[in-house]
Chain A
Amino acid sequence: MSESVQSISKTQYLADVAQAAKSPGPKWLLELRKAAAVRLAELEFPNRRQEEWRFTNIAPIVNTSFRSMVERLAIDLRAADIEPFVFREEGWTELVFVNGFYQPSLSRIAAASTNVRCGDLTAAAGSVVEHLDRYGANGNIFTALNSAFLAGGAYVHIPAGQVMEHPIHLVFVSAGRSENTAAYPRTLVIAEPQSQAVLVESHVHLEGNVPYFNNSVTEVVVKENAHVHAYRIVQEGASSYHLSTTKVHQAAASVFKSFAVTLSGKIVRNELSVLLDGEGADCSLQGLYLTGGDQLVDNATAIEHAQPRCTSWIGYKGVLDGRSHGVFTGKIKVRRHAQKTDSKQLNNNLLLSDEAVINTKPLLEIFADDVKCTHGATVGRPPEEVIFYFKSRGISEAMAQGMLTCGFCDALLSQMELEPVRQRLDNVVFERYSPI
C-alpha cells in the first residue's frame, strides 16, 4: 500500500537527498541521483513477510533516523591510521576511501606499465559510468538509496586483453563518524574482453563503538573471456550496520570468482547476485562468516543462469558463537533457454554455542530440463567420536574445538590464491579460535 506511513528513517533520507541533489557534479551524476531519488520515494523497505528477508530482521536499521554523509568530513587521517588495513605489497594499487569518499593522500597507485584506469568514480570517463545502475537499477530500496546519495566511490577499468599482474585493493574506511550516520560506498568494475584482474574490497573502521550504517553497492561487469577474482572483507564496528549489494554481469566464457568474508559488524547483510548472460560463463562464489555476540550476518547469494552451458558453484561456511544469528540463501534460477547448466552449492555451519542460530536454505527455480543442480547444507558441531579421539590423545575438549574450528575455516581459506589476503585471514581465524 503506497499510503502506508513513511518510516522516520525514510523521511530523513528524503530530506537529506534533497540536499545531496544540490551538491555539484558532472551531468551524468546529477541525473543518476535524480532518477534514484524518484525510485527511493516509491520503494519500501523490505520486511520479513518477503521470502528473501524472512529470517533477517533489519528493524534496527529501518527504524533509525540516519543522517546521510553527503560530503567528505574534514578529518585528518594519517598513513599510520590505516596501516592495519592495507597490504603495502610490491606492485599493488591500494585506493583508500574514507566514509565513501576517495582519499588520494592515503592511496597508492602502483607505477604500472599497464593502462588500467582506476580512482574516484565521479571522475571516471563517460564510457565507464554509463554502466552504473544498469545491472542493479531495478533492485531494492538500498541500491536506490546508494545512487541517490552517490558523491564518491571507486571505479576500475581494465582494458581489453590486459592481464593485470598485481591486485587492486579498494579500502573503504569508516572514520570520524558521529552516531547514526549513513555512508554509501560505491564500486564499479569493468573488465573488458580477454582481460584479467584481481580485486580486493575491504570495509573496515576506525570507530570504537559508534553506531553507523554503511550501505554499499558494487557493480562488476565481466565481458567475454575476461577473468575477475574478487575478494571482499567486511570488518565493521561492533555496533555498526553494513548492507551491501553486489551485482555481477558475466558475458560468454567469462570467469568470476569471489571470496566474501564477514568478520564483524552488528548487522551485516551481503547480497551477491550474478547474471550468467553468455554461453559457457563460469562463476564461483565462496564465503566465510565468523559471528559471535548478538550479531546478525546474512549472506544472500543468487545466480541466474540465462544462457546455456554455464557453470556455477556456491560454497559458504560459517562459524557461529554466542547468541549470534546467521542466514544463508543460495538462490539459483535457470532460465528455459539455459540448457546444460551445471550448478552446485554447499553451506556448512559450525555452531559453537547452544544459543547460536543459522537459517540456511537453497532456492531453486529451474525452467530448463537438461540441467545438473545440486545443493546441500550442514549445521552442527563436531561428532562426539571425533572429540573423543582428541581426548584419547591428551587434548582437552576446548582445545579440540579450537583446532577443529581452525581446520574448518582453513579448508576454505586455503583455496584463496591471493597469498597476503589468505595469510591475514588465517591470522584472524587463528587469533580468534586457536587454543594454542
Chain B
Amino acid sequence: MLVIENLHATVEGKEILKGVNLAVRAGEVHAIMGPNGSGKSTLAHVLAGNDAYEVTEGRVTFMGQDLLEMPPEERARLGLFMAFQYPVEIPGISNAYFLQAALNEIRKSHGQEELDAMEFQALLQDRMRLVAIDSSFAGRPVNEGFSGGEKKRNEILQMAILEPRLAVLDETDSGLDIDALRIVADGVNRLRSPDRAMIIVTHYQRLLNYIVPDFVHVLFEGMVVRSGGKELALELEAKGYDWVKGLGVESGSGLALAQS
C-alpha cells in the first residue's frame, strides 16, 4: 500500500529525514517510535504533503501512485489521513460543517453522491457516540478552545468519519486520560481491516497493549534504524534510546518486510 524509499527531507534548510525506508501493506499496523526530534512528525507531514517540508531525495508510492507528485488534498481523497500531533484551531467554522465538507469532497472524488445535511448528521451522531465525544462539539468551531485531549479525540472522530485507507496517527495517545486512551484505541481497532493500514507514532508501549502492532520501527536521527515485531517496543522500553544510539542502521530496516 505504501512504500517509502530513501526519503530525505529538509525543513528551513536543515536535513531532518536522512534516508527513510518503510513499507506498509494493507491490513498491517506499524508503530513508529523514536526520541524527540528524530523526525517522526516530519515524516508524517511529508506523507500528508505539507509543503513547509521539502523532499530532497527518494520516492514514496501509495496505492501504486507517486505520492510526492500529488497535492495534499488529492492524497487525502486517495485515502491518506494524518491525525496531527498538534491539531490546528479553525475559528468560525463548525466541526460538523468542516467534516461534512471534507467527507463530501472525498466522496465526490470517488464519484459517490454527496451526503446531505440530514444523512451527514446521522453519521456524525453515530461516530460521535463511538468516540464518546459530546454532541455539543458538532456545533463548536473546529478545535477552538478544545482541551489537549479533546483535540486528539476530535482527530479520531475525523478518522472515523473519513474512513481512510491509511491512517498516520502522530502521538494521538499523548495527553489522553486512561478512558480516552481506550476509546481512541477502540476507534482505531474498529477501523482495522484487511484493506486498511495504520502507522502509529507513539512514545508509549502502553498504547501498543491496546492496539497491537504487526511491526515496530525505531526512527533515529532521520533514519529507520531497527524494525521488529511488537516485542521491539518492550525492548526499547527496557533499554531506552541510548541503546539505539550505539547501533548502526540494521540492513533492510523498515523495508525488510516489503519483500516478504
Q: Which residue numbers of A lie inside 8 Å of B, CB to CB?
A: 384-386, 388-397, 399, 403-404, 406-408, 410-411, 436
Contacts and interface: CB of A to CB of B under 8 A. Distances in A.
Contact of A395 (B48, B75, B84, B102): B102
Contact of B92 (A394, A397, A408): A408
B90 A404 contact: yes
Contact of B97 (A385, A392, A403): A403
A406 B98 CA distance: 12
B73 interface: yes
A394 to B, nearest CB: 4
A243 to B, nearest CB: 31
Nearest to B72: A391
Interface string B50-80: 1110000000000000000001110111000
B162 interface: yes
Given A384-B52, A395-B73, A407-B93, A389 B105 contact: no
12 contacts: A386-B90, A388-B48, A389-B88, A390-B90, A392-B48, A392-B73, A394-B73, A394-B105, A399-B101, A407-B93, A411-B92, A436-B101
B92 A407 contact: yes
Contact of A386 (B88, B102, B106, B109): B88
Contacts of B87: 389
A408 B71 CA distance: 26
Contacts of A394: 73, 76-77, 102, 105-106, 109, 162
B254 interface: no
B105 A396 contact: yes
Contacts of A384: 52
Contacts of B75: 392
A395 B105 contact: yes
B91 A407 contact: yes
B101 A404 contact: no
B93 A393 contact: no
Interface string B81-100: 11010011011110001110
A389 B52 CA distance: 13
B158 interface: yes
Contacts, number: 79
Contacts of A397: 73
A410 B90 CA distance: 13
Contacts of A408: 92
Contacts of B72: 388, 391-392
B76 A392 contact: yes
Contacts of A391: 49, 71-73, 76
A389 B98 CA distance: 11
B85 to A, nearest CB: 12
Contacts of B73: 390-397
B90 A407 contact: yes
A398 B185 CA distance: 35
Contacts of B84: 389, 392
A342 to B, nearest CB: 25
A246 B105 CA distance: 46
Nearest to A393: B102
A395 B88 contact: no
A386 B109 CA distance: 22
B105 A404 contact: no
Interface in B161-209: 162
A61 to B, nearest CB: 35
